[in-house]
Structure 1
Amino acid sequence: MARQSRAVVVGGGIGGLTAAAALHQSGREVTVLERAPSLEPVGAAISLSPNALRALDVLGIGDEIRDLAAWQGDGGLRTPGGRWLTRTSAAAAAERFGGPLVLLHRATLIDRLAALLPPGTVRTGAAAALADPGDAHRPARVRTDDGEWESGLVVAADGIHSAVRTALFPGHPGAVYAGFTTWRMVVPVPGTRFASHETWGADRLWGTHPLKEGRVYAYAAALTPAGGHAADDEHAELLRRFGHWHDPIPAVLAATGPEDVLRHDVHHLARPLPALHRGRVALLGDAAHAMPPTLGQGGNQAVEDAVVLAHHAGDLPAYTAARLPRTTAIARRAVRSARVAMPGNRAAVTVRDLAVAALSRTAPALLLRGFDDIADWRPPQPPYAAVRAGDTEQR
């Protein structure tokens, strides 16, 4: 028989590891099955907003992650020529939302999360498939090359093109192309000082943000047909598209080599799932609600999912009820944000830039207010999942 206290997590990314840590701290025996040969993440950096940092507080590492914040000054939104459309204050945002925005390398967060787990919890090189979602009378079963796992709970954190999601909801169309591709890089740019910013053009955008130790996280996006790649290399493609934009973009590109650039088409779930669970299986992160990165909430929502799932691990319908409305609304806002950031025609750019600049001058608080119901989220009320062995009180 399955051990009801066992949880099997399919996928060892940020969402999967956060769920594993939260479930472990709540007293479950956890195994993480990651198909990749190591936990080295695909991606460059992640921006953690106050909502996700509060979720990490549940695990006891929120303050440790907050201490990694590299940029505490002003930032904002610019035009390709360098004109500021808006200026934002990190201090004002932190005061409004109860904490800072922290940008750090994904590998750093992966390492911190993995350190919360007992040795042997994570099994790499372990591709897994759902054999049976289980129900109230039988366990869920997960198949690997080494045999089957029976579990009282299976957590599907297997990404945008989730095989577990397809098995649970075979009639759902799955992830579709969002209409744009992205490039990401983390590179050292010594001696360059700049304010954190995002720059919006017509059919493309660029972001540049300082990290710790003199490194810079930069990303770009552009409207383009799916499946495209540069005829030479992606660094050359970025030079063609962004090399003439304002400083420090040319300096960042000069410090970047072809091997530093990651390119990925963006896919999302245009149609929400009917539920985030079935039987004894729960979906989280991109497997549950893949969204465009334009609000910076994909990873943040995965972290939220994880602690809420641990809180409702014995009642998966409650997990769906807590998460599906919120993640659906945020995913839709991310789609709308992409349309504003990259409208695709010059006339719309002119209207957008005038509106954003006017709003910034006359009612700057409205720009922050748009994130009120995202960044001000709090984890479920006690008892939290993070009750460590030997603790005398619940968080």
Structure 2
Amino acid sequence: MRAAVIGGGIGGLTVATGLRRAGWEVTVFERAPALPSAGTGLGIWRDALDALDEVGLGDAVRRAGRRQPEGVVRKPDGRRIGVLRADVHLVTRPALLATLAAALPAGAIRFGEEPTDLDHDLVVAADGINSATRRALFGVDVRPSGAIGWRGTVDVPVEAGGETWGRGVKFGLTPQADGRTNWYAMTGPDADLHRTFGHWHDPIPAILAAATEVLRHSLDYVPPLPAYHRGNVVLIGDAAHAMTPDLGQGACQAIIDAVTLARCAAADPTTALRAYDALRRKRTQRMVRQSLALNRLARTRHLTGVRDAALRVALALQPRRTPDWSADLEPDELAG
């Protein structure tokens, strides 16, 4: 059985490993000439790490990053709203992609190529938020949330991350294993980054002063699709259910999609894709709605005191974090 994977990102590389373990012959087509050498940090939640364990990749991904320390959610003047106890492993996008690619044999990834002959038993479209495959199958494109995302990485170390919520805007920080800091922000379409956040609490002004490469993009999402497959073609990750980044689940859900599809692939392709759709579509579409709702909550400019009080209660009700096998390792060990 032969499978073609369109896209050599997180979902595409994970599904290639999973399908190979299930006995498939897999080729990944990635139009970029090589894996990226730069990129911001990603949070990999425990359920996604469990999925990576299932295809033999979990320990390698843990070694490529570090566990996220508890963060604090604050107001712009630095006053605490609550503690964020997310059970998340932090890894940069380049480190994660390199780890996933290393699990595949030489020649399995065809860089600089787009598929022209898809005479395969299965075609997995992992071609991202602007998926041409999704448009061809269902005629559906992304929709804007109305918010703008900003992000970058700076050489300013922080011990712990967190988020700061203001009137219709927010700013977040996450430390990386190499001592650098990943930052992100959300604003309306006409906001100026420095004018909006430059007077907020430390270390936000220092982070912005050190930011030389700033990415700015619309925060878009994919509306509900009637199915995640048609014929022998199946969508995974952002191609199927791109969401705003407010839940921090984009990479994680792509990983879980990939492992679920590989698990289903022991059956014939038609049965496998129906099973995958039943397991993943409603769940991920619900997460798209939840993330969009959280995005709208963060963008509110009225009754922010009520919003912050509700946020304080939600943070207080979080479960305590469970111990992790890597908790006693030093950052340089976690970085490999």
TM-score, with structure 1 as normaliser: 0.76
For residues 171-200 of structure 1, give each alpha carbon's deviation from its aligned partner in whole angstroms, at most 9, with x where no partner exists. Answer: x3x2111111111112221xx444311111
Is 1:263 the equivalent of 2:216?
yes
Determine helix, strand or coil for the equivalent of 1:212.
coil
How far off its partner does 1:359 sit? 5.0
Show the counterpart of 1:241. Answer: 196
Match of 1:305 among 246, 257, 274: 257
How far off its partner does 1:155 sit? 0.2
CA contact (8 A) 2:150 2:185 kept: yes
Alignment of 1:31-110 (within 5 A): 31-40=27-36, 43-71=39-67, 73-89=69-85, 100-110=87-97
Question: Does the C-alpha gap of structure 1 residues 41 and 55 become closer, same or farther in structure 2, counting only changes over 3 Å?
Answer: farther
Show the counterpart of 2:146. Answer: 179
Output the CA distance in 2 between the equivalents of 1:303 and 1:153: 18
Alignment gaps of 5+ in structure 1? 94-99, 129-142, 231-236, 372-395
For residues 258-290 of structure 1, give each alpha carbon's deviation from its aligned partner in whole angstroms, at most 9, with x where no partner exists. Answer: xx2111111111x31111111001100010011
Is 1:354 the equivalent of 2:309?
yes
Output the CA distance in 1 between the equivalents of 2:34 and 2:137: 27
Structure 2 residue identity aligned to 1:296: G
CA contact (8 A) 2:148 2:218 kept: yes
Alignment of 1:175-254 (within 5 A): 175-189=142-156, 192-224=157-189, 237-254=192-209
Total equivalences in the alignment: 316
Show the counterpart of 1:274. Answer: 226
Match of 2:130 among 133, 157, 161: 161
For residues 220-269 of structure 1, give each alpha carbon's deviation from its aligned partner in whole angstroms, at most 9, with x where no partner exists. Answer: 111216xxxx9xxxxxx422221111111112122221xx2111111111
Match of 1:13 among 9, 27, 46: 9
| Aligned-CA RMSD value | 2.0
CA contact (8 A) 1:206 1:221 kept: yes
Show the counterpart of 2:274. Answer: 317
For residues 91-115 of structure 1, give each alpha carbon's deviation from its aligned partner in whole angstroms, at most 9, with x where no partner exists. Answer: xx5xxxxxx4111110000000000
For residues 319-365 of structure 1, give each alpha carbon's deviation from its aligned partner in whole angstroms, at most 9, with x where no partner exists. Answer: 1001001101111100111011221x2x32121012223555xxx22
For residues 150-178 of structure 1, give each alpha carbon's deviation from its aligned partner in whole angstroms, at most 9, with x where no partner exists. Answer: 100000001111111111113x3x21111
Following superposition, which runs of at least 4 residues in structure 1 exceed 3 angstroms of deviation?
67-73
TM-score, with structure 2 as normaliser: 0.88
Output the CA distance in 1 between the equivalents of 2:240 and 2:50: 21
Match of 2:112 among 120, 125, 129: 125
For residues 58-114 of structure 1, give each alpha carbon's deviation from its aligned partner in whole angstroms, at most 9, with x where no partner exists. Answer: 12121232344535543121111111101134xxx5xxxxxx411111000000000
Output the CA distance in 1 between the equivalents of 2:255 and 2:308: 33
Output the CA distance in 2 between the equivalents of 1:320 and 1:71: 32
CA contact (8 A) 1:181 1:223 kept: yes
Output the CA distance in 2 between the equivalents of 1:298 and 1:104: 14
Determine helix, strand or coil for the equivalent of 1:221.
strand
Question: Does the C-alpha gap of structure 1 residues 43 and 273 become closer, same or farther in structure 2, counting only changes over 3 Å?
Answer: farther
Structure 1 residue identity aligned to 2:282: P
Question: Does the C-alpha gap of structure 1 residues 7 and 103 become closer, same or farther in structure 2, counting only changes over 3 Å?
Answer: same
How far off its partner does 1:213 sit? 2.0
Show the counterpart of 1:342. Answer: 299
Show the counterpart of 1:150. Answer: 119
Output the CA distance in 1 between the equivalents of 2:243 and 2:143: 10
Output the CA distance in 1 between the equivalents of 2:262 and 2:199: 48
CA contact (8 A) 1:69 1:101 kept: no
Q: Percent identity?
A: 46
Structure 2 residue identity aligned to 1:163: A
Alignment gaps of 5+ in structure 2? 322-336
Determine helix, strand or coil for the equivalent of 2:96.
helix
With 105-114 and 239-248 compared, the bigger mean Cα shift is at 239-248
Alignment of 1:375-386 (within 5 A): none
